[in-house]
Amino acid sequence: MRRPNLFDFATSELSQDAFIGWLLSWAAPENKEIDSELYMTATRFIQAIFRKHNKTVPATISKIEVRKQHHDIDILCIINDTYAIIVEDKTATINHSEQLTRYYNDVKDAGHKEENILPIYYKTGDQGGYSEIEKSQYKVFLRDDILQVLNTYLGTNNILLDYRDRLQFISNNVASYQSMPINEWKWHSWIGFYLMLQEELGDGTWDYVPNPSGGFLGYWWHFRNSEDSTIYLQIEQDKLCFKIAPSANDTSTRRDVRTKWYERIIEKSREHGLPIKKPKRFGNGSHMTVCIFDGEYRKTKDDGTIDIPSTIDLLRKAEKLLDLAHAG
């Protein structure tokens, strides 16, 4: 049983802002004599940020200035009156690149040289991708990066220990898809599963998809373009779907396009030996399910836990089937 943890209750990004600012402030040289372990951990945090940007950390950190919500920047840390670390802090939410660019430009306009600005996107939750973040010159600093720093701490400060324990608790939940029977998966288990798929498939993104029945966590990948549609694969948690996004805005043509791809995928599935069925009902929207894998696509071991190689093998077969249908 876990002991009561402050950060199980202080879950907002403002609470995390406070922790980040608090930790960075411990890197000030005058704090070394107060608590050398906290000082060293804070210094390693700064070193890790410099490494993300392939920059050399100053040989001596003589001055630390931490500003919170400066021009809407979550945390701005000025080192030796020269280096500016911008921290955009996120837990479960995501950010827009326009905001990130504005923060960067605000710091540059304040007189900091571009080569001395080190923006990071500090994320303790998970999201489907970070390409837009990286285009904004920010380096992604994820939960594992943070834990790698905090795991060097050998002291007894309860604030740091609670924060580290909270992050490890999240990581354990995300990794639960590996050891938990698939019929017992929780929200974080699905996130861990999708993160694994991104690694194994080398493709795809995921996010929450709202709908009138409560929504689901979806994963979509393997997009193929044709004259009348984009066809692709989508996992809707317990369903593996073959989807189309018709090119034309004319709703009167969607039925014919939908029928065409349904018949083509069904025909190729018989040749390919992959069981496919018709959905309970066809939609008529901008994105439509035309076929569903008939059965459980998540292959399991004898104990009911996920068999990752067999599951990936089945998804590769679904990709091949989609390619065959796309080829005509």
DSSP string across 114-134: GGGEEEEEEESS--S--HHHH
Average pLDDT for residues 263-286, to the nearest whole number? 90
At 308 the pLDDT is: 98
Are the C-beta atoms of 251 and 284 separated by less than 8 Å? yes
At 97 the pLDDT is: 63
CA 227, distance to chain mean position in Å, is: 32
At 127 the pLDDT is: 93
User: Where exactly are the structural domains of the chain?
Assistant: 6-173, 179-327
Q: Which helix (H) or strand (E) holds 242?
A: strand 240-246
At 317 the pLDDT is: 96
Average pLDDT for residues 300-319, to the nearest whole number? 97
Are the C-beta atoms of 279 and 289 separated by less than 8 Å? yes
Q: Compute the half-sphere exposure of residue 156: CA atoms within 13 Å on the CB side of its CA.
A: 0
Distances (CA, A) of 219 to 191, 199, 240: 10, 13, 9
Neighbours of 174 (CB within 10 A): 22
Tokens 């989508």 locate to: 234
At 270 the pLDDT is: 87
Rg of the chain over Cα atoms, rounded to whole angstroms, equals: 24
Note the pLDDT tens digit of each residue in 134-186.
888 899 999 999 999 999 999 999 999 999 999 999 999 999 999 999 999 99
Provide the b/e sequence for 302-321 (b: ≥16 CB within 10 Å).
eeebbebeebeebbebbbeb
| pLDDT tops 80 at residue 86 | yes
Q: 36-52 vs 13-25: helix axis angle to the nearest 10? A: 110
Neighbours of 115 (CB within 10 A): 9
Residues 6+ apart with CB under 8 A from 313: 299
Quote the tokens at residue 253.
Answer: 């043509």
Q: Compute the half-sphere exposure of residue 199: CA atoms within 13 Å on the CB side of its CA.
A: 8
At 282 the pLDDT is: 86
Q: pTM of this prediction?
A: 0.91
d(CA 88, CA 189): 26
Percent of the chain with pLDDT over 70: 99
Quote the tokens at residue 123.
Answer: 């994320």
**Residue 252: φ, ψ to 5°:** -70, -20
